[in-house]
Amino acid sequence: MNDWNIQSRAHSCQACGRRFEGRQVYHTLLFDEKQEFKRLDVCEACWQAQYSEGGRHRKGFVSYWQGIYEAPPPPAPDPVRKETVESLLRRIMERNDPKDASASYILAVMLERKRLLKVKEQLQRDGRRVFVYEDPRSGDLFTIPDPDLQLDQLEQVQRDVALLLEHGLNPPPPPPDPIPEPAAGPASAVPATAEAAEPAVPQNPV
C-alpha cells in the first residue's frame, strides 16, 4: 500500500466530465484498490443516476460523503516562502520517505486540532489504522497511517517536528568545528636575534 497519498478534489465530474461550478453539490466515493485508496467525485445528476443505488456495494467501496465545490482561488504572490504546518505536511508526503511517518501523523493531528483538516474515515489496512483526512477548503484527501507511537517516542517526534517547522526539509548545515590553536612549543635556549645575545664587554682605553 502507498502510505503517502494526497488526492486532489476533481474540478469536473468524473462520470460525465461536466465541470463543477461554484457552490455546486458534489459526491465523493472512496474505494480501496489494494495498492492505494482512490476517490471518485461525481455531480448530483450522475450520483442520482449511477451511484445512489448500489454505489456502496461496488467492489472496494469503503466510504462516501457529500461536499460543496469551491473554485480554487488564484495563487497569491509569495516571494518569501514561509514553512507552515500544512505546507510541511504536503512536502513530506511528496517526498515519500518512510522515516517521516511519525512526523506526518503529528502534523495531521495538529491541523485537525486547528480545524484545517477533518477526519472523513478511519480504516483498518494490513492490521494498521489509517486516517483519511480532507482539507475542506481544497477538497484534497490525505491518507495517513497511524504509526502507533509510544509515550517514550512522542517527545522525540515532537522535537523533530519543531525542527522541521523551523528549518524545513533542508536545514542549514551545522557550523564547522573551530580550528584548534596550535600548541606553544618549549622556549628555545638559543637567542633568536643578535639583540638577545649577551652584550659585549667594553675594552679598557689605552
- Three-class SS state of 125: strand
- Determine the structural domain holding residue 33 and report its residue range: 5-72+81-167
Q: Is 68 left (phi over 0), alpha (psi -120 to 50) or beta?
A: beta
pLDDT tens digits along 181-199: 665 555 544 444 444 444 4
> What is d(CA 29, CA 46) in angstroms, rounded to the nearest whole number?
12
> What is d(CA 69, CA 24) in angstroms, rounded to the nearest whole number?
5
User: How many structural domains are present in the chain?
Assistant: 1
Residue 177 has pLDDT above 80, yes or no: no
Share of the chain above pLDDT 70, in %: 76
Share of the chain above pLDDT 90, in %: 55
Nine-digit cell string for 66: 457529500
Q: Is residue 140 part of a domain?
A: yes
Arithmetic mean of pLDDT, 90-117? 93
Q: Is residue 175 part of a domain?
A: no
61 φ, ψ to 5°? -65, 135
> What is d(CA 2, CA 35) in angstroms, rounded to the nearest whole number?
6
Q: Is residue 59 part of a domain?
A: yes
Task: Report which listed range, 1-5, 22-26, 51-55, is most confident.
Answer: 22-26
Residue 172 has pLDDT above 50, yes or no: yes
Q: Write the secondary structure of 3-71 as one string of H (helix), E (strand) and C (coil).
A: CCEEECCCCECCCCCCECCCCCEEEEEEEECCCCEEEEEEEHHHHHHHHCCCHHHCCCEEEEEEEECCC
Q: Please give the pLDDT value at position 126.
A: 84
Q: Is residue 173 part of a domain?
A: no
Q: Please give the pLDDT value at position 36.
A: 86
Alpha-carbon separation of residue 183 from 105, 180, 188 (angstroms) = 52, 9, 15
Arithmetic mean of pLDDT, 26-39? 92
Residue 180 has pLDDT above 70, yes or no: no
Give the confidence band of 203 by pLDDT, cuts at 50, 70, 90: low
102 φ, ψ to 5°? -65, -40
Q: Please give the pLDDT value at position 73.
A: 77
Q: Please give the pLDDT value at position 181.
A: 63
Q: Is residue 177 part of a domain?
A: no
Residue 10 has pLDDT above 70, yes or no: yes
pLDDT tens digits along 137-155: 889 999 999 999 998 999 9
Q: Is residue 188 part of a domain?
A: no
Q: Is residue 43 part of a domain?
A: yes
Q: Is residue 180 part of a domain?
A: no
pLDDT tens digits along 115-144: 999 999 999 988 889 999 999 988 999 999
Residue located via cell numbers 476533481: 10
